[in-house]
Chains A and B, each alone.
Chain A
């Protein structure tokens, strides 16, 4: 292991000694071993609203978390509720989330429903005195986002959002390196997410199409921007130290999956920060060759967030004989008939980079539920801790609100094909509500 590498255990230990981590990432305070000791033996009594694939993913994590007790499950789609109930037979079943919110035993709720229900359910749950964990993205529109923030500020309940990267050691370590100057000045942020599947789920009967495949319809979802970009756009805010972009422009289309869906299957958005730095997001779901990528480009280095590798901009020394062999190889493989010497492919860096976390897991992006080792377990435990203590983790709502707003405005820019200005602060949000 080198100086930049750490394991998950190292990560938790480093939080305990109050390194730069907690100053930069205050929401991780509940992850320290001390904080965990304070709530040892106590359990957060939770209800899950929405027991689809993501709800059951969280349920599976909560069932093995000693700080969690799932006491209620709610879904108006019986097969999903049955599947969740089979995992947690002791939990009460509800078909109406308002009935679950009346349940005095429930201290906190997880809202894992389609995007368009997030705001109403979150506001109702906070009003009912429940602590809330809401899946990302937070809201279906800036207006809904505003209503959620208002409801949260008006009460004293905990609100957390499913931005699991905030709890992923790989991302936390990467941001420590970025803010510690390891890659120099941040000059660009590149995000892409490529898949090759139709994003559809099996529908038992046609009338359930919109309920099951809600991601594909405007009334429920904002498509790739809220379902995928929302995670990656947060990286930009994080890397830029909380500074938000000034505007976004972009475009999108339904170019391959012409199956009646209403959301784009191909989008490209560019966000510009006040200092001129650009953050890009591109997603295509009919080609997965490049998979998923999140890269922070610095004047002195590059961080590949997905793979947990940091590269240096300094030229990599190559031996003379290696240079000769590379030149011979280039000479043999290059097609001089096409462009000649005036145009040549600029070589990428040969730096193999430094892996700064161990045990990096990557997946092929086929699952839209969740991946192992992505911070979801830590996030769930942090929510349990927050429910038990009643202490709101710092800045986590702001981080989530910004990533949602950037996704929503990016969606608007790609739909309208124009530049959309981004407010300087979340308090300016009402002016964006139409």
Chain B
């Protein structure tokens, strides 16, 4: 089996992607708090939902990138 090299650039890209996904989920939660007029304590109490949404966004974005990569490879 061949050693796999993850470059510093790749790590940086993935960390930024994950961070952006979390930020989007976090902003969605804040938006919902404002729209549905619920307490601001939900910023912390709903962190579980935020995390799940962030992971979902990251996976969706990864899927899209994978499809693009496959097309480019052809």
Contact = CB atoms under 8 A, between A and B. Distances in A.
A44 to B, nearest CB: 58
B38 A324 contact: no
A320 interface: yes
Contacts of A323: 32, 36, 38
Main secondary structure on A side of the interface with B: helix
A323 B31 CA distance: 12
Contacts of A324: 28, 32, 35-36
A37 interface: no
Contacts, number: 40
Interface string B26-67: 001101111111100010011001100100000000000000
In the complex, which of the residues A317, A319, A322, A323 has the most CB atoms of chain B within 10 Å of its own CB atom?
A: A319
Nearest to B53: A321
A94 B43 CA distance: 75
Interface in A157-211: none
A317 B36 contact: no
B57 to A, nearest CB: 14
Contacts of B31: 320
A333 interface: no
Interface string A309-345: 0000000011111111100000000000000000000
A324 to B, nearest CB: 5
A308 B49 CA distance: 31
A320 B49 CA distance: 11
Interface in B10-29: 28-29
A321 B52 CA distance: 12
A320 B35 contact: yes
25 contacts: A319-B32, A319-B38, A319-B42, A319-B45, A319-B46, A319-B49, A320-B29, A320-B31, A320-B34, A320-B36, A320-B37, A320-B42, A320-B46, A321-B29, A321-B32, A321-B49, A322-B46, A322-B49, A323-B32, A323-B36, A323-B38, A324-B28, A324-B35, A324-B36, A325-B49
By Cβ-Cβ distance, the 3 closest A-B pairs, closest first, are: A320-B32, A320-B36, A320-B38
Given A320-B33, A324-B28, 16 more contacts: A317-B38, A319-B33, A319-B36, A319-B45, A319-B46, A319-B49, A320-B32, A320-B35, A320-B37, A320-B42, A321-B29, A321-B46, A321-B49, A323-B36, A324-B32, A324-B36
